[in-house]
Chain A
Amino acid sequence: MKLFLETYNNSDSVNLADIPVLSYKYFANMLRSYFVDSDNHCLSYYAFRKDDKLKFICAIAKDSDGKIYLSSHELKAGITALDSLTPEFPQLHIFEREIAENFGITFEGHPWAKPVRYSENRADKIKVMNNYPFYEMMSDQLHEVGVGPIHAGVIEPGHFRFICNGEKVLHLEIHLGYQHRGIENLMLQNDNPIKLCVLSESTGGDTAVGNALAHSQLMESLADFEAPEDLQIERCIALELERIAIHIGDTAALCTDVGYQLGQVVCEALRTTIINTTQFWCGNRFGKGLVRPFGTNYPLNDRTVEEIKKILNDSGKRYFDMAERIYSLPSVLGRFDEIGIVTTEQAYRIGAVGMAARTCSIPRDIRSTHPFQYFKNHRPQVVIQEKGDVLARGMLRYLEAKESVKYIFELLSKWEYTEKSNLKPDYNYKLKPDRFSASIVEAWRGELCHFAVTDEKGNIMHYKISDPSMHNWFALALAVRDQEISDFPICNKSFDLSYCGYDL
């Protein structure tokens, strides 16, 4: 009996009917055989209604062979309870919660069965933001601190509830959903593909390039199109520019939180130069409009290449000098070193991805393990840190930015010798009917997954977005345990997770 369907990232779509439908028991066994090996992790596990059934799809990434394993199980209408698999595979916790919230399925034995984001199409409308079931500890010795949804800075909303013993945090509960805009439903508008491009960019405006690329790749795979080499290279350059800009910006934010003003202002100014380069290229500082399916409105030209090279040479070097200084200052190290530790074992258990995984010695980087676009031909060096603390997350940003600068120069030299296709975006594409496709992009936070299913006419009937923050918010909760509450800001900033990408 076939337990799964193998596919590759950014490749052909598969027939939805070819994804094996297992009984729940076999499905659990299949997961057991996979998750025993830490080489495998869950990309996403979600459900949607098809005909009168609820169809559950699980996508597992195996790092050593670069394949994606798809499997599914189904529930007939009327059945609303399943045994939770979370106690055995904690990395599924958030996905089971999401399915429970959207479809009213009870996962029996789930240790943390709480709402995820209070989505507008949730099954139980009696549950509202105000009656979120916070974890409580009864003791005269303890107190609670609530922060948010509106925070002191100019950032997105979310609520954090700490249970503290004096200054020490015993437990942090993260309650999100304030940003929920109903994006997945809006992605089902089949009348105008430009809507979907703009919506995917708005899924997370700080990851506009990553999201637009994941979406474009997905549409291309469902229409059997492979981007020509020059377009692939341009997309990879845009993605790496986004990564560099954010990493520098977050270095500034980390400096702000520990009161190192020189680091803050220098990095802020350097980030400006990078995003202004993106604006020079496409007219938007965040790269909105730069990535489109089947082509581009802003092909690279010699003038833009010259600008990119000039800025990366200059700002790159200045950032490296600054970062070397930041991470050698005793007063900064005193705040970063061994603060907010996530252990490798914890990271494996919660299925941490992207930066959060790589700072815990776990080499998860889709660019290297499941390469897409030009990363297939030329893989960047994966940067790893070991300690899992704030310092590791800061250092990782520095080293990744360095690697990305080097990588962009390598891509640019290849681009110069590549034949130019000059493809314009195509919005009249036809998607193949009854197909499923997965598109995964290593954006700066980590793996960003877009999935779509088409109906018999080739219209999108289901669209799923899984931001890396779905996996990683829990890492933040673990990081602040037993820390001083005053260290929360740097812990939070060192992860810099997405609210809107999670809330959708």
Chain B
Amino acid sequence: MIIKELKILRQHGIQYVPDLKTAVLTPLFRGRPVIKEDPTDQETEKIKKLCPSNAITTEDGFGIDIGKCVFCKECALAYPDKIAFTNDYKIASNDKNNLIVRKGDSEIKFNENIVRPEVRKLFKNALKLRQVSAGGDNSCEFELYAAGNVNFDMGRYGIEFVASPRHADGIVITGPITENMSEALQICWDASPGPKVLILVGTDAISGGMFADSHAVNRKFLEKYPVDLYVPGNPAHPLTFINGVLRLIGK
């Protein structure tokens, strides 16, 4: 009978992505948007109306806030000369201001100056995280689980999800934070020993996304604690999450 398993193992082959920092996703993957040319005022108004999640900003010129963007790409499909979506998945940042994409931007920048020193000192070689879904639609949760699977295997860097907040060095939140989940989230946060990191994964978590104006959402938790990392996406791709965390811990 072992023969069968050996055959399966052989078929299985080597599945892990050898280099998580240089892996290339399929061309159509909707990652970092680029603004090829600033839209006219009239076009901007139309794009604003098209955008389902108010991700278009006009303060200091035209910009797309990927903390609000749901990556539906409808703006780029309607104005292909002005906006495009690239397959660049390295779109996580620790500075919310860096999430706004403007004309000429060619990467999402990470702000080294605001990383807390203890994060680098304590978590560089091992970071255990507790994930809390607070109204997530189960796609970000799937992707976070996948970040530890046989393909992406973030465990190779000592990054891992743990069962108890008491064993965790930080909390990872998905979903817009529902009123009904807000208390459990607070209890979980309090149960985790400091120093600890706070990571928001997915557009819903970063800005509320499609649910920003819902009465069922309560985002007061985020007013209380500084966020160490924003991982945009709908859902965030495992590579986006892993690369973001690696930059945070300085690896």
Contacts and interface: CB of A to CB of B under 8 A. Distances in A.
Interface in B139-195: 139-146, 149-151, 161, 163-165, 175-176, 178-181, 183-184, 188
A398 interface: no
Nearest to A266: B12
B151 A118 contact: no
B137 A205 contact: yes
Nearest to A253: B145
B33 interface: no
Nearest to B148: A154
A195 B52 contact: yes
A325 B30 contact: no
A231 B51 CA distance: 25
B145 A154 contact: yes
A285 B133 contact: no
Interface stretch (B119-127, B209-217, B223-231): B209-217
Interface residues of B, number: 70
A178 B184 contact: yes
B7 A321 contact: yes
B33 to A, nearest CB: 12
Nearest to B9: A262
Given A198-B72, A279-B26, A157 B133 contact: yes
B206 interface: no
Interface string A381-395: 000000000000000
Contacts of B144: 154
B5 A325 contact: yes
A286 B131 contact: no
A280 B26 contact: yes
A194 interface: yes
Given A198-B70, A280-B28, A325-B5, A206 B184 contact: no
A331 to B, nearest CB: 11
Contacts of B25: 279
B52 A198 contact: yes
Interface string A270-301: 00100010011111111011000000011000
B221 interface: no
A337 to B, nearest CB: 18
B216 A318 contact: no
A120 interface: yes
B127 to A, nearest CB: 15
B53 A198 contact: yes
A156 B134 CA distance: 8
Contacts of B204: 202
A130 interface: yes
B77 A179 contact: no
Contacts of A121: 215
Contacts of A182: 211, 214-217
Contacts of B149: 265, 268-269, 272
A206 B49 contact: no
A120 B214 contact: yes
A283 B30 contact: yes
B14 to A, nearest CB: 10
Given A120-B216, A182-B214, A194-B72, A279 B28 contact: yes
Interface string A493-504: 000001110010
Contacts of A298: 28
Given A205-B138, A206-B139, A198 B210 contact: yes
A186 B214 contact: yes
Interface stretch (A84-92, A133-141, A145-153, A338-346): A145-153
B199 interface: no
Nearest to A129: B180
A189 to B, nearest CB: 9
Contacts, number: 197
A210 to B, nearest CB: 13
Given A262-B5, A279-B25, A279-B28, A181 B138 contact: no
Nearest to B76: A297
B29 interface: yes
Contacts of A192: 49-50, 52
A206 B143 CA distance: 11
* Most chain B CB neighbours (cut-off 10 Å) among A118, A129, A179, A180: A179
B26 A500 contact: no
A194 B74 contact: yes
B137 A202 contact: yes
Contacts of B234: 284, 288
Nearest to A179: B135
Contacts of B178: 178-181
B142 A205 contact: yes
B72 A283 contact: no
Contacts of A180: 135, 178-180, 216
B237 interface: yes
A55 B28 CA distance: 46
Contacts of B29: 279, 283-284
Contacts of A281: 28
Interface string A157-194: 10000000000000000000111111001100000101
A286 B72 CA distance: 12
B135 A285 contact: no
30 contacts: A150-B165, A150-B184, A180-B216, A181-B178, A181-B214, A182-B216, A182-B217, A186-B210, A192-B50, A194-B51, A198-B53, A205-B137, A205-B139, A205-B235, A206-B139, A265-B15, A268-B146, A268-B149, A269-B15, A279-B28, A280-B28, A282-B28, A283-B26, A283-B85, A284-B29, A288-B71, A318-B8, A321-B11, A498-B138, A499-B138
Interface of B: 4-5, 7-9, 11-12, 15, 25-26, 28-30, 49-53, 70-74, 77, 85, 130-146, 149-151, 161, 163-165, 175-176, 178-181, 183-184, 188, 204, 209-211, 213-217, 234-235, 237
Given A121-B215, A182-B215, A186-B210, 20 more contacts: A149-B181, A150-B165, A150-B184, A150-B188, A153-B163, A154-B131, A182-B216, A186-B213, A194-B52, A198-B210, A206-B138, A249-B142, A268-B150, A269-B150, A272-B146, A276-B26, A286-B235, A289-B71, A297-B77, A318-B11
Per CB-CB distance, the 8 closest pairs between chain A and chain B, nearest first, are A205-B139, A205-B137, A182-B216, A152-B163, A283-B28, A120-B216, A195-B52, A269-B15
